[in-house]
Amino acid sequence: MAYYYSEPSRTFNEYLLVPGYSPAECVPANTSLTTPVAKFRKGEEPPLSMNIPLVSAIMQAVSNDTMAIALAKAGGISFIYASQSVARQAAMVRKVKDYKAGFVSSDSNIRPDQTLQDILDLKENTGHSTVAITDDGTPNGKLIGIVTGRDYRVTRMTPDTPVHTFMTPIEKIIYAPEGTSLKEANNIIWGHKLNTLPVLSAEGRLVAFVFRKDYTSNKENPLELSDAQKRYVVGAGINTRDYRERVPALIEAGADILCIDSSEGFSEWQKLTLRYIRDTYGDTVKVGGGNIVDRDGFRFLVEAGADFVKVGIGGGSICITRETKGIGRGQATAVIEVARARDEYFEETGIYVPICSDGGIVHDHHMSLALAMGSDFCMLGRYFARFDESPTNRVFVGGAYMKEYWGEGSTRARNWQRYDMGGTENLSFEEGIDSYVPYAGSLHDNVNISLNKLRSTMCNCGALTLPEFQEKARLTLVSSSSLIEGGPHDVFLKDNTGAPVTPK
């Protein structure tokens, strides 16, 4: 007969943290949210860490290059979605890596004989206001001039106006020679009050740009996550079908870490994918596996070569796996068991394998609970889909602004590589829905609010770091009555006009 678990499958809503002693130094400003992303040996530093414990989900409606840049600025990692062509996904990764490298390769270039309309079209496509004018229109051609928004007025010029008639010519441009250090380049920028500094070879060819905004951005985002070359860290999703083509392209584009995007990770398909990566790249390529919900699944993926393990099946807000297939587990129960398995493995081998809680997070305090229960970081879909930086449309529905949000198992995503088990390239049935989420504004503002709540919760438990939080956290189950007690009750709430409203 089937095996039956003795304990019920529980969600984050069924737990509360019990506060502990808070010493005087335990204030939010003193907390650290640094967390490992890839496995490491006891006594060694992790090969990759984040400054905040948040990553964005591998979803069309969530993680593109714009989201990756915004989240890296905040200190986390975005995993660019895999349900697209290899070339397009690699281009997104490359765009993130080129966005802030200190020295940025120009991808907005034009010839001097082209027109204002060409400038406007290029700006529309790239979003860049600075355009390099090179002799051949290539990123490394001889620099003839530069065009910015200050060089033209659309209302007073015709679209066919030649670029060379309104560009700022090279004779009037301050530039730096190839070999100039980033510190020297920034000194030139500040000394001459520039927004942009071209770097030229001895032959006058464009090598790169240094932008004032990148220096400013670094100061405004102290937790931003960058690699040794000062480029933003970015992740990318892969599948278990075309990994032999996708993985090399993503690595060549500069992806810092990969993650297998699958609804169920306890499978030979993931083992084969991980084996290919280890046989081809050794330990130089970092890759996560998942999703799993128990000790056996964790051990399987770790022994197959995963650098981190993603926990959760059926808990996502747009996932209907549990409804359609009867497969899954309450997210809190899954995280607790896998965290214990992670700690057991560390005791046995001296190798720490981070775990990621994926799904089941509706409220900000659920992040705190997931981390207290042992997660090293959380993967979020609905949370990030609400922001300006997500790739979906903002629409006006029912008197309020919404953002479109759909699951990778929905017909809209058509992600057969993630869900299909057969040989035909189609979805046999849906495991996700198409929906809306309330529009919430910018990522920067919302993430700061969520993290401030987390820092405050950690201090209530007497912890200044995430490992200390996990060590000191005390959790209690809650009853249905205490859930009611925890919200507004026995009062009349005010609506926007100040009139009383009977609570539901």
Q: Is residue 146 within 8 Å of residue 158, measured between CB atoms?
A: no
94 is a catalytic site residue: no
> Partners of 358 in the beta sheet?
379
* DSSP annotation string for 146-175: EE-GGG--GGGS-TT-BGGGTSEEGGG---
Element (H, E) at 356: strand 355-358
Q: Point out the catalytic residue in the list 259, 319, 378, 461.
A: 319
> Which residue, among 393, 386, 305, has the nearest Cα to 57 in the 3D structure?
386
Element (H, E) at 99: helix 86-99
Phi, psi of 197 (to 5 degrees): -125, 110
Kindly report whether the peptide bond that precedes residue 291 is cis, defined as omega within 30 degrees of 0: yes
480, burial (CB in 10 Å: exposed 0-12, middle 13-18, buried 19+)? exposed
340 is a catalytic site residue: no
Tokens of 3: 């095996």
Q: Is residue 208 within 8 Å of residue 181, measured between CB atoms?
A: no
| Dist. CA 316–CA 318, nearest whole Å | 5
Q: Is residue 230 within 8 Å of residue 208, measured between CB atoms?
A: no
Collapsing DSSP to helix, strand or coil, 9 comes out as coil
Q: Are strands 40-41 and 500-501 parallel, antiparallel or unpaired?
A: unpaired
* DSSP annotation string for 359-377: S---SHHHHHHHHHTT-SE
- Helix and strand numbers, DSSP H then E, in the chain: 16, 26
CA 139, 141, 142, 147 dihedral sign is negative
Collapsing DSSP to helix, strand or coil, 406 comes out as strand
Q: Is residue 471 within 8 Å of residue 460, measured between CB atoms?
A: no
| Dist. CA 460–CA 199, nearest whole Å | 51
Q: Point out the catalytic residue in the list 94, 299, 418, 455.
A: 418
Tokens of 406: 């759909």
Q: Which residues are catalytic?
A: 319, 418
